Chain A
Amino acid sequence: MASLKALEVNAVTKSFGETRALAGVSFTVEQGEVLGLLGPNGSGKSTLMKIMVGIMKPDSGRVEIQGKDVAKDPTGVKGIVGFVPESPRLYEFLSGVEYLDFVADVHSLDSKTKEERITDFLKALDLEGKENELIHGYSQGMKQKLAIIAGLLHRPQVLVMDEPLNSLDPRTARIVKDLIHKLRDDGVPTIFSTHVLEIADAICDRVVIMDNGRVVEEGSTKQLKEKAGSSGSTLEEVFLKLTGSSDTRDIVEALSR
């Protein structure tokens, strides 16, 4: 019997008016795998992530997380998924700890677990001492840290992160990367999008490259470099080649004129 896939994206399409955001996207993620979603701005990564976590409906196609159909059981899926959106908007009138307390309660964590996890995360991500301040006064990086904690607080079975390392200082970025590795060791799969190709190269088991709402390539970074016919090239060169944006010299010339 085939093992249960952590995530299955099957022929997903989505349009906004005349604009086709996703045009039949399919791929799978194994248990404990770290998958990087790469693609230029507007390639459909964020839309796909919203569909994966059940906050947006696809026009057609299906997404299953740990065997649960997202469209049929969105509430059930939300209980087992952790989601960190790109530029998260938080409740600015709450203090950091009140926000985390709210998220923990929404996931029905008991008091003891809640206290332990929130205290540990605040300490690990350097928010200790700031937790009683209103989020309104937080820097973008601090808000990003809170959103990451909120996504992890209920120990999700699948983690979906949209540009999670945005605005983070190097120390916190390192902690988050190590955390993703630790989750992988514990069998928790992570799907995350990034524009920083070095990060994808360093921590992803596999990457999916999207362009114009389609998957243009997928595989391990090593496989992609080989497929691109230049085994010695960087992931950046492969990415630019696959997304048809490799010729950047004219643009740089024009900008520096």
Chain B
Amino acid sequence: MSIPSLLQWVEGTDLSTAIREGALPYPILGGVHLLAIALFGGMVLMTDFRLLGWAMRRTAVPDVVRQFQAWKRAGFVVLVASGLLLAWAEPLKLYRSPSFWVKMALLALVGVHALVFRLRVYGKSARLDVAETVEGKLAAAISLVLWGGLIVSGRLIAYDA
């Protein structure tokens, strides 16, 4: 089965049709996706800004990193779940959208970032103590670039079709 015909099948499912053609599901899912950026994006920003030494300097690095971790994960789950459902609604359109593939590549890099830095920075944040480290700053800077890119490429998807 070729990829386009598989995506055609996805687009033919009841769930896909319901999200695409219903008046409410699509805007609600888009709203949830956006709301997750609004409510949890601040924690990504503040974690990275703390690692860079720009924000919340009264609070020790591990205190900031650890206390935001569970919330950031919850936000990520909401983003992925709402994103998957939005993609399920129009897979063929996304398959043809260059911005979508840029976004997926950046998402893959977020995964690589987590693998590389989880143990070295975020998992061992106690070692960072109150002072910032070069490795922590590098992790934070890359994270900010990736998340900025995800927002821009995500927004551009709407303009590709």
Partners in one complex: no
